[in-house]
Amino acid sequence: METLRERQDIPQEYQWSLEAMFASDEHWQNAFDELNATMQDDPFADIRGHLHEGAKVVFDYFEKTVLLEKQLGLLAIYAHTKNDQDTRVTTYQAMMSRVQALEAEYGEKVSFFEPELLTVSDDVLQSYMQDPLLKEYKKVIDNIVRNKPHVLSGEAEALLATFEDVFSGSQQVFGQLTNADFVHGSFTIDDTEYLVTEGRFGLLLRNLDRRIRQAGYERLYDTYLNHKNAIASLYATSVKKDVRMSRARKFETARERALFANNIPVSVYDALIAGMRSNIAHVHRYVQLRKDRLGLDKVKLFDKYVPLVEAKMDEYSYEEGFALVERGLAALGEDYAQILQTARKERWLDVFENPGKRSGAYSTGFYATRPYVLLNFQGNYESVSTLAHELGHSVHTYLSGKTQPPQYSGYSIFLAEIASTVNETLLVNHLLDVTDDPLKRATLINQQLDSLTATIYRQTMFAEFELDAHRKVEEGHALTHDVLSEMYAGLNQFYHGPAYEDDDRSPAEWSRIPHFYRAFYVFQYATGMSAALVFADRMRKQGSVAVDKYLGFLSSGSKDYPLEVLKEAGLNMEDPSVVGQALKIYGDLVTELETLLPHIG
């Protein structure tokens, strides 16, 4: 049986450079103690109660928060990246908990600001916003004023702030269960033993032998089903928290509250679902094509990811994969290429799986750190595409951090997935550009369709599921495992069409999705992919003009609300034609694959 390398056996060049934040855990502890002491001294004592005295007091508040949030950010990112590289180490679990408690205390300390600022008259607030001192904070103040109907009294805000770490409890417990406590074991077929982990599950589902796919699927899902009631309770608690917080803040629905922060109208969410449903025939055609190609009576959940055709081009060393990403992204220009080289030189990436390492992949960091990328690189094209995806996030973070002041150096989730999926799209477009071989071309199209299906259709299905779950709680209904699974099964059948059929385990797929603990998050993968396809198409057709606009987008951070940032880059997400263009590209790919496959043995 194949075993994982222990972390100490993986060369340093493949591990992220967390020492760039703190040279050691002891240095982290010293920084924590220093910030904790500052917090105990009440850093806002000379500001609280004085906001009506002039723009200078407000400016002093903002400058102090920038400093404290920088310190908090460094502590938090170090703790969670250390934890994620081996979730079994209780030291880093404790560090994360301590930072979360300190973040909650910080939230309590600053909770006075919005309620107090909103007691200042509108005329005085407008004069503050015209003061040169607050020029760089104008949007921050504007957003606070926009939020006025949803801000509670100072006492109520302080009370809610003390519960911040408790509110994330369901997500934390789910993460510990699935990353640290769950053991899926192994199975043996034809004298070969297969280890089942979250990191290797994707490889098992891509195996051409259906027995292996099914056995790995059943082994992993049985672990979740053995804890079905606990997981259902965790998710139900998370949804109830969302609903009650939305009511406390005077929003009509939890969805409205979730989208409000980025000034996204619920109509964008509804338009996405409507657009997908009206174009569902494209994905139904693809599932039917999968059924026919694999010779199945019905496509099952464990059949969705196996390649329909596979040229000998699907294995890459990490070095080969990185070089391929560089070639694929060459259209973005020399400056972008230099940033990719910096990522390797400065060791932004943690590349290989090790025991206890968090599954999946992500990019984290902010203006005061390097971007950091967690990978579980497996050597296939999916891993290379994931590398391109996460580097998209990282370069977005890097450019916005260099270009914007600290308060605007971050960016909303609504924008985040665009940068990553543009990279995925450019990578596959590059490969399609350099091959006319029918087998290789079919392989690439198959892979791209799988990616688009997972990112556009699947994430929209997830968006419908969590919308339905929150509506049920808002209407007074209970969420049990059976209720959630029945809801999910209905969506599964609609989105996959008549060639698909659920089994006893597949309706429980919802229980594996960590993003559901961050309410109304996943729809942005679908809107992001739609925008990315349009951006990539424009760059191919318009060249440097479109590239410059796109790089301007990457450097914009949160200097304006997300829809406005995109409009400045030439993309109007309120126009339904954006989703329509993306789905047309998807449909055209299905058509080409339908044409190619009959000629490939």
Please determine, for residue 576, whether its predicted confidence score (pLDDT) is greater than 80: no
For the chain, domains (ranges, CATH) are: 10-167 (1.20.140.70), 252-314+412-601 (1.10.1370.20)
| Confidence band of 488 (pLDDT split at 50, 70, 90) | very high
What is the predicted pLDDT for the residue at 434? 86
What is the predicted pLDDT for the residue at 416? 87
500 phi and psi, to 5 degrees? -110, 150
What is the predicted pLDDT for the residue at 312? 79
Position with higher pLDDT, 2 vs 495: 495
| Confidence band of 199 (pLDDT split at 50, 70, 90) | confident
Please determine, for residue 465, whether its predicted confidence score (pLDDT) is greater than 80: yes
Q: What is the pLDDT of residues 138-179, one digit of tens each?
A: 999 988 888 888 988 878 888 888 887 788 889 999 998 898
CA neighbor of 304 nearest in space, from 316, 294, 314: 294
Q: Which two tokens stand for residue 378?
A: 């497996």
Contact indicator for 582, 533 with CB cutoff of 8 Å: yes
What is the predicted pLDDT for the residue at 1? 46
Calculate helix-pair angle for 577-596, 280-294, nearest 10 degrees. 20
Radius of gyration of the chain (CA): 24
Neighbours of 108 (CB within 10 A): 18
Q: Specify the pTM.
A: 0.78
Contact indicator for 481, 201 with CB cutoff of 8 Å: no
Contact indicator for 217, 204 with CB cutoff of 8 Å: yes
Mean predicted confidence (pLDDT) in 568-585: 84
CA neighbor of 258 nearest in space, from 514, 553, 515: 515
Q: What is the pLDDT of residues 54-69, one digit of tens each?
A: 999 999 999 999 999 9
* Runs of H (alpha helix) within 206-227: 210-225
Side-chain-facing half-sphere of 13: CA atoms under 13 Å: 4
Q: What is the pLDDT of residues 66-116, one digit of tens each?
A: 999 999 999 999 999 999 999 999 999 999 999 999 999 999 999 999 889
Could you tell me the CA-to-CA distances from 244 to 241, 250, 255, 416, 476 in Å, in that order?
Answer: 5, 10, 12, 27, 12
Catalytic residue among 108, 116, 390, 466: 390
To the nearest whole percent, how much of the chain has pLDDT over 70?
Answer: 100
CA neighbor of 213 nearest in space, from 315, 294, 323: 294
What is the predicted pLDDT for the residue at 49? 95
- Report the mean per-residue pLDDT for the chain: 93
Q: What is the pLDDT of residues 330-385, one digit of tens each?
A: 999 999 999 999 999 999 999 999 999 998 999 999 999 999 999 999 998 889 99
Q: Is 390 a known active-site residue?
A: yes
What is the predicted pLDDT for the residue at 2? 61
